């Protein structure tokens, strides 16, 4: 009896490029992909040629360096995607550009549909240094309600929006709000405080179909920067459905690991009932969309973090805690018993100390837990004793240099220079032996290589270098941003390095980040990104297959 010879392994892609296995720094020269996985790796340029068939796309990329695709440990992809549905007036530099964008959006909208702008604009970025007026918005979009919110407390509306909200010429100012008026008493379109919400309440939010489409656009923008996985830092259950819609419609261009919000407005019983009602537990899903766990929020940020010492600019204020330790311990212990992982936002040292009290009590009640079951999100101002407690307890930490990069100027005011310099000291966390995973938390696509530059220089956007002694090496930064997050996601056997048997999530760069001048990293962007053996970003068609 003869046996058919086994079908020879045929690659879908044979990529000839320098490939860096994240953990060891060892380099290879050819990588073979089949289906969603890496199946072969060689230090020899031609050793894998025998595995290529006539359907194999051979990619000659000797000019590129391949890394594992980045895995962001903490980012708000849903919020960033929702923003893509808004008119990007934050990019306007004059009132005419601003109203031109509104007019364009109105032209493409169904009759009567609301035109809503990004909230991230400010009149100081407009040449005229003033708000657009009601008359200007009416001229741009006479037939559509327009609401241009600016930050949380101010907006400009047109006549159709005021009318839709039932605001007439004689409507009085609402409590805590102001409907702006011209000298002659007619409305100028500006809305302050409560008046913003009086109008915003009539502007419909996107439906699930729109949200799913927005996730496609949003996730593609991250893929274009070399991101392969995002741990989604906070969604509700409707948003989880939108993610599932996006997955079903094959719109996602990054893998997503969502965290479901458990709000501190709930009683303990209500929170436990909500968790019970979820049915599933951490790890449910597939390689593209898999539930990470639950999200709690212990304190605020630059202006609300719970601090041991008062705010530098407000000696009577030391921030706020959202949860009492006893209540949160009870909810978390029940959640962990049901198979849930928990990540908790804790920025200030008082918040981290309280969270450690909670996590230690949970571990004492429930018993030993696998690493990355109870996670500290940010831990930005943790002190040495708290770092040691986190390590002893096995509580991993997600770290985000881009928060310091973006907000250092504000931190210098609210927290003062000494605390700002020691925000997220990755060197000290590493020295203590902590489990770390790197990410961003900027609610917009952020170049991972700019993040790497920040971790190795402690550089910021507008406050220079803060705490240079806390810098880490490029290799360590890459490790925390790939394998670190893979471990956080309990996927260290599937993702995080260029290894046969792992998923084919790769990014190709026109320079070797380990050899480059760190200052050149800040501007480095990828030539292509591959997730699960599929091109998710390939502007120069370097990965195009025959016939494509």
Tell me which residues touch Zn ion (CB under 5 A).
233, 441
- Tell me the closest approach of the beta carbon of residue 443 to Zn ion, in angstroms: 8
Nearer CB in complex with Zn ion: 195/437 = 437
- Tell me the closest approach of the beta carbon of residue 301 to Zn ion, in angstroms: 9
- Tell me the closest approach of the beta carbon of residue 476 to Zn ion, in angstroms: 23
Nearer CB in complex with Zn ion: 441/491 = 441
- A 10 A CB-CB count for 467 gives 19
Nearer CB in complex with Zn ion: 73/133 = 73
Among residues 504, 492, 391, 405, the alpha carbon closest in space to that of 451 is found at 405
Q: Look up residue 14 and give its two tokens.
A: 């044979």
Nearer CB in complex with Zn ion: 22/489 = 489
- Tell me the closest approach of the beta carbon of residue 441 to Zn ion, in angstroms: 4
Among residues 126, 188, 151, the alpha carbon closest in space to that of 178 is found at 188
Report d(CA 516, CA 452) in Å as an integer.
12
- Tell me the closest approach of the beta carbon of residue 203 to Zn ion, in angstroms: 25
- Alpha-carbon distances, residue 107 vs 97, 111, 164 (angstroms): 15, 9, 19
The three-point CA angle 45-528-39 to 5° equals 45
Nearer CB in complex with Zn ion: 68/445 = 445
Nearer CB in complex with Zn ion: 61/233 = 233
CB 452 within 8 A of CB 411: no
The three-point CA angle 496-499-503 to 5° equals 60
Nearer CB in complex with Zn ion: 68/218 = 218
Nearer CB in complex with Zn ion: 233/543 = 233
Nearer CB in complex with Zn ion: 116/233 = 233
Report d(CA 341, CA 489) in Å as an integer.
10
Nearer CB in complex with Zn ion: 116/346 = 346
Report d(CA 236, CA 120) in Å as an integer.
23
- Tell me the closest approach of the beta carbon of residue 260 to Zn ion, in angstroms: 14
- Tell me the closest approach of the beta carbon of residue 114 to Zn ion, in angstroms: 27
- Tell me the closest approach of the beta carbon of residue 400 to Zn ion, in angstroms: 8
> What is the full DSSP assignment across 475-504?
HHHHHHHTHHHHHHTT-TTTSSS--TTSB-
CB 518 within 8 A of CB 476: no
Strand partners, 154: 150, 192
Long-range contacts of 315-322 (CB under 8 A, 24+ apart): 318/350, 319/348, 319/350, 319/351, 321/350, 321/351, 321/354, 322/264, 322/297, 322/298
CB 310 within 8 A of CB 318: yes
Nearer CB in complex with Zn ion: 233/355 = 233
Report d(CA 77, CA 258) in Å as an integer.
9
Report d(CA 514, CA 479) in Å as an integer.
12
- Tell me the closest approach of the beta carbon of residue 254 to Zn ion, in angstroms: 17
- Tell me the closest approach of the beta carbon of residue 140 to Zn ion, in angstroms: 34
- Tell me the closest approach of the beta carbon of residue 520 to Zn ion, in angstroms: 29
Report d(CA 162, CA 207) in Å as an integer.
23
């Amino acid at each position: 009896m003869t046996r058919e010879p086994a079908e020879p392994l045929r690659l879908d892609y044979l990529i000839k490029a320098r490939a860096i296995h994240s953990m060891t720094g060892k380099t290879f020269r050819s990588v073979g992909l089949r289906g969603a996985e890496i199946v072969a790796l060689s230090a020899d340029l031609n050793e894998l040629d025998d595995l290529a068939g006539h359907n194999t796309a051979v990619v000659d990329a000797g000019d590129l360096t391949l890394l594992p695709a980045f895995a962001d440990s903490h980012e708000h992809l849903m919020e960033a995607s929702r923003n893509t549905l808004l008119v990007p007036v934050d990019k306007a530099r004059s009132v005419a550009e601003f109203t031109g964008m509104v007019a364009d959006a109105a032209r493409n909208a169904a009759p009567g549909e609301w035109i809503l702008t990004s909230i991230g604009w400010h009149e100081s970025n407009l040449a005229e240094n003033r708000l657009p007026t009601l008359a200007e918005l009416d001229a741009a979009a006479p037939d559509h309600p327009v609401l241009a919110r600016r930050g949380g407390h101010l907006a400009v509306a047109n006549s159709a929006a005021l009318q839709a909200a039932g605001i007439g010429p004689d409507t009085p100012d609402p409590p805590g709000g102001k409907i702006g008026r011209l000298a002659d008493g007619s409305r100028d379109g500006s809305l302050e405080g409560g008046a913003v919400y009086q109008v915003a309440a009539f502007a419909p939010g996107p439906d699930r179909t729109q949200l799913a489409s927005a996730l496609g656009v949003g996730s593609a923008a991250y893929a274009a920067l070399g991101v392969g996985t995002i741990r989604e830092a906070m969604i509700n259950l409707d948003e989880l459905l939108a993610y599932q819609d996006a997955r079903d419609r094959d719109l996602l261009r990054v893998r997503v690991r969502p965290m479901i919000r458990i709000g501190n407005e709930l009683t303990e019983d209500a929170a436990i009932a909500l968790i019970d009602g979820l049915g599933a537990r951490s790890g449910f899903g597939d390689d593209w969309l898999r539930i990470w766990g639950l999200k709690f929020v212990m304190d605020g940020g630059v202006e609300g973090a719970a601090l041991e010492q008062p705010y530098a600019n407000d000696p009577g204020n030391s921030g706020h805690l959202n949860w009492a330790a006893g209540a949160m311990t009870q909810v978390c212990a029940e959640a962990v018993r049901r198979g849930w992982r928990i990540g908790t936002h804790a920025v200030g040292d008082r918040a981290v100390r309280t969270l450690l009290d909670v996590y230690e009590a949970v571990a004492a009640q429930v018993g030993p837990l696998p690493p990355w079951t109870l996670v500290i999100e940010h831990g930005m101002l943790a002190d040495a004793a708290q770092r040691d407690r986190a390590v002893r307890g096995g509580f991993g930490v997600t770290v985000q240099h881009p928060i310091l990069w973006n907000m250092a100027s504000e931190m210098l005011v609210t927290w003062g220079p000494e605390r700002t310099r020691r925000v997220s000291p990755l060197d000290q966390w590493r020295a203590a032996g902590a489990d770390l995973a790197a990410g961003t938390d900027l609610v917009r696509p952020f170049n991972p290589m700019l993040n790497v530059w920040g971790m190795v220089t402690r550089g910021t956007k507008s406050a220079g270098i803060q705490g240079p002694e806390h810098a880490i090496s490029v290799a360590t930064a890459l490790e925390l941003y790939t394998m670190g997050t893979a471990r956080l996601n309990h996927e260290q056997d599937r993702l995080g390095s260029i290894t046969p048997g792992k998923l084919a999530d790769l990014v190709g760069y026109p320079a070797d980040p380990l050899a480059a001048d760190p200052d050149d990293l800040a501007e480095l962007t990828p030539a292509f990104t591959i997730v699960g053996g599929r091109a998710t970003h390939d502007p120069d068609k370097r990965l195009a297959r025959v016939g494509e």
